[in-house]
Amino acid sequence: MDENTLKLLVRLTQEGQLSPLEEQISSGGSAAAHTVGSKHFGRSGDTLLHYAARLGHLNIVEYLIKQLGVDVEVYNNDYKRPLHEAASMSHKECVSYLLQNGAKVDSLKKADWTPLMMACTRRNLEVIQDLLSHGADPKLRNKDGWNSFHIACREGDPLVIEHLLLTAPDVWRTESKTRRTPLHTAAMHGCEEVVRILLERCGYTRDGTDSCGVTPFMDAVRNGHVSVARLLLELHQASPVAADVLGAQPVHQVAVTGQEEALRFLVQELSVDVNQRATDIQLTALHYAAKEGHASMIKTLLELGADLRVRDKKGRTALHMACIGQHAETVRMLLLLGLKDSEDASGTTARQLARKPGAVQAFQCGLSES
């Protein structure tokens, strides 16, 4: 078959047009039919069966397997089988058919993802149940150390989480290669109902940390999920002042990510010290916010009592940090707020750190207006 005919076959498959597809393939004879069935297309190396499974065209899936004898375990350049495709797109009928016709339930694609892991990226409990009923192992881990439960906790469907725990009660006892637990994942993504289930049904250690020393509470607040943070405080007695491996506490982390509501929650409701220092360099939340260029966060910090003139261990003020980050508007704002240029412990002024044209100009404008 010529290139145009092959492109037509792909299009007909993707559109789910079985009759025209059969006609085109039949016109080429039995040898052509065999060739087409095993043909890999494009950079991905997908076959017609991959296309049909991905798009949920069960009639074409049946035709390719039964009539053309396409191998149900055929894989593309990423080692994805048709079952991966159908599971990832929640096509239950295709998933069931592929499993009934010999598809291996725990086949691995690139990065060691199973069809069940792919299914858990969606909120389709029926597909997940079908895979589990055929023996899928929810405890298998991919190259990053994530199992299916980890992935489901990221998506946040309580029904899926409940079913996985029912099927494999110990599935929550897992960590990624960076020691992140499903509780970290659910907290980071603001999946409040899932966090509640994990806290009520699983035995996670209070303030358990990943390899960077980050706790689920930190994940929640630095991503702005205050309701999840409240839940962790209520049900897990999480610490609002625990520090990561660099000594940064939640108050510093929210300054980095610019989460003002979370900052107010920490300072006003939990009485966290807004001027608390982090790391051996003694940075404050104000330093972090200035380095990231969060002008609005700086204003909120000052409103909550942050000391504008505080210096870190190297003698740097927030103005130095804003210049290091080359944040022109933040530099200008700090100068207008009354922060003067000065030398740090090494004798370097903030102005000397402003290298990009915008930051230099902001410095000049700020000095003239202050």
For the segment 288-296, the average pLDDT, to the nearest whole number, is: 97
Which among 97, 123, 27, 13 is positioned nearest to 57, based on CA atoms? 13
pLDDT band for position 357 (cuts 50, 70, 90)? confident
Q: Which two tokens stand for residue 142?
A: 């991919």
- In tens, the pLDDT along 260-291 reads 999 999 999 999 999 999 987 899 999 999 99
240-370: in CATH 3.30.70.1890: no
Please report, for the chain, the start and end positions of each structural domain, with discontinuous segments joined by +. 1-135, 138-201, 240-370
pTM to 2 decimal places: 0.92
Q: What percent of the chain has pLDDT over 70?
A: 97
Fold of 1-135: 1.25.40
- What is the predicted pLDDT for the residue at 178? 98
Q: What is the mean pLDDT of the chain?
A: 94
**CATH superfamily assigned to domain 138-201:** Ankyrin repeat-containing domain (1.25.40.20)
| Domain 1-135 identical in fold to domain 138-201 | yes
Q: Which residues contact 4 (CB under 8 A, 6 or more apart)?
A: none
Cα distance between residue 112 and residue 108, in whole Å: 5
The continuous run of DSSP H or E covering 290 comes out as helix 285-292
pLDDT band for position 361 (cuts 50, 70, 90)? confident
- What is the predicted pLDDT for the residue at 370? 46
Min mean pLDDT across 54-68, 174-188, 329-343 is at 329-343
- In tens, the pLDDT along 57-71 reads 999 999 999 999 999
Q: Which residues contact 332 (CB under 8 A, 6 or more apart)?
A: 362, 363, 365, 366, 369
